[in-house]
Amino acid sequence: EVQLLESGGGLVQPGGSLRLSCAASGFAFTSYAMAWVRQAPGKGLEWVSVIRGSGDSTFYADSVKGRFTISRDHSKNTLHLQMNSLRAEDTAVYYCVREQQLAQFYFDCWGQGTLVTVSS
């Protein structure tokens, strides 16, 4: 069974940093692109970042470019999101997702999410 388990969320002050992790199991981790999607309270979904299965390519939404860094650890089947210079508007539930990249791209598996709150 495919499982994605996020951790690392919490309360952080504006300007602070936080590192999210996602433990993946039940599939060949290195064969899949992985991504982060966030959802502010009461709002819609926003794609944040994606990293290819090999880890050699990363892409970011303009709203987080230069502040967030996505990475993956193949020895631990773990995805990370390093978030720096956090702002109030980064407050959201952050979902770890698996992305299929065959003929089309789509998010076929989602974690349960971890809440990040940026507030003083």
Partner 1 sequence: DVQMTQSPSSLSASVGDRVTITCRASQRISNYVNWYQQKPGKAPQLLIYAASNLHSGVPSRFSGSGSGTDFTLTISSLQPEDFATYYCQQTYSSRTFGQGTKVEI
CB nearer to partner 1: give 90 or 111.
111
* Burial environment of residue 26 by CB neighbours within 10 A (0 to 12, 13 to 18, 19 or more): exposed
In this chain, which of 57, 88, 105, 119 binds partner 1, going by CB under 8 A? 105
Q: Which two tokens stand for residue 1?
A: 């069974």
In this chain, which of 5, 27, 59, 69 binds partner 1, going by CB under 8 A? 59
CB nearer to partner 1: give 7 or 13.
7
In this chain, which of 20, 22, 50, 79 binds partner 1, going by CB under 8 A? 50
Q: What is the contact surface with partner 1 in residues (CB under 8 A)?
A: 35, 37, 44-47, 50, 59, 61-62, 95, 100, 103-108, 110-113
